[in-house]
Amino acid sequence: MKDSSPNAEEHGGLTIALSKGRILQDALPLLARAGVRPMQDPSRSRKLVLTTNQPDLRLLVVRAQDVPTYVEYGAADIGIAGKDVMMEYRGDGLYEPLDLNIACCRLVVAGRPGTPLGSPRLRVATKYVHTTRRYFAAQGIQAEVIKLYGSMELAPLMGLADVIVDLVDTGNTLRANGLAALAHVADISSQLVVNKAAMKMKHARIKRLIAKLARAVRD
Ligand code: ATP
Ligand code: PRP
């Protein structure tokens, strides 16, 4: 039986990878303003390949951290990924032509108020291991980095780490757990990322979409 979801190369049109949750929620209105509307409701559908009102454009729903991987390997032509994910991603071969100014937040060092950051062998729990190592090395602080996959705020409370490096938006999660931001690492928003080969092979189509999205971001 013919596969109903050809891979990105066979598909010929454009394939955009993005993650469920915040990014999808913020990206859908932006895509709509750029003329792209999914045919199924992504919050209800269990489908991971969504067709859109544009017959040559489809959306893939993947884990946030997997977006750059799909795009680098050409399984998707384009992706929408947080700057936090891109800073942590170790591959290369991706263009980042447009800041979409959605899912905005900050990457911070957080801990109990007053925790000194200069103490020898500071223990830092985070999902962003590479970014955290780079940040503390640039500050001249020796840090032991412990990888966690979520609920980072628990680590200082349970004595697993002195501080965490995590995303903050409203600050509600930090406050609810008696923590505070201690240092700013980076401002975060979502980026459009593009596969380098696709940018050459599908140049006109991708440029048109970037232009429409850039207008949607401005308006
Ligand atoms: P997964 O659950 O699939 O491992 P995730 O928990 O990182 O991924 P989301 O919480 O939806 O997925 O976050 C996706 C992206 O949204 C992040 O990479 C970041 O760029 C942005 N983001 C995360 N938390 C916030 C927040 N509190 N406010 C605004 N943007 C956020
Ligand atoms: C993210 C982040 C913080 C929280 C910050 O978690 O890891 O915990 O949002 O947002 P706030 O400052 O508005 O409270 P998320 O809700 O994505 O849960 P996660 O632990 O699954 O990543």
Using CA positions, which residue lies closest to atom 7 of ligand 1? 64
| pLDDT (0 to 100) of residue 3 | 46
Quick one: which H or E segment has residue 194? strand 190-195
Q: Which atom of ligand 1 is nearest to the CA of 190?
A: 20
180-188 and 105-111: which strand pairing? antiparallel
The two three-digit tokens of residue 155, written as one number: 């680590």
Verify that 98 and 87 share a domain, yes or no. Answer: yes
Verify that 113 and 159 share a domain, yes or no. Answer: yes
Q: Which atom of ligand 1 is nearest to the CA of 168?
A: 27
- C-alpha distances out from residue 197 to 95, 145, 219, Å: 10, 35, 30
Q: Could you tell me the end-to-end alpha-carbon distance of the chain, in angstroms, rounded to an integer?
A: 45
25 close to ligand 2 (CB < 6 Angstrom): no
What is the total count of domains within the chain? 2
Tell me, what CATH number does 146's domain have? Answer: 3.40.190.10
Distance 116 CA to ligand 2 centre (A): 24
Distance 52 CA to ligand 2 centre (A): 30
Verify that 97 and 193 share a domain, yes or no. Answer: yes
Verify that 83 and 132 share a domain, yes or no. Answer: no
Verify that 65 and 86 share a domain, yes or no. Answer: yes
Mean pLDDT split into 10-residue runs, the chain, 219 residues: 57 90 96 96 90 96 97 97 97 93 98 94 97 97 97 97 98 98 98 97 97 96
Verify that 183 and 194 share a domain, yes or no. Answer: no
Verify that 183 and 142 share a domain, yes or no. Answer: yes
The two three-digit tokens of residue 82, written as one number: 């947080």
Q: Does 1 fall in a domain?
A: no
Q: Which atom of ligand 1 is nearest to the CA of 105?
A: 29
| pLDDT (0 to 100) of residue 8 | 64
Verify that 152 and 172 share a domain, yes or no. Answer: yes
Q: Does 80 fall in a domain?
A: yes
H helices present in 34-171, as ranges:
67-72, 83-88, 129-138, 154-157
- C-alpha distances out from residue 176 to 153, 154, 172, 179, Å: 10, 11, 6, 8
Q: Does 65 fall in a domain?
A: yes
**What is the extent of the structural domain holding 152?**
105-187
Enter the pTM of the model.
0.94
| pLDDT (0 to 100) of residue 118 | 87
The two three-digit tokens of residue 193, written as one number: 């990322």
Verify that 150 and 99 share a domain, yes or no. Answer: no
- Ligand 2 pocket test target in 173, 177, 184, 188 with most atoms within 8 Å of CB: 173
Q: Which atom of ligand 2 is nearest to the CA of 169?
A: 12
| pLDDT (0 to 100) of residue 9 | 59
176 close to ligand 2 (CB < 6 Angstrom): no
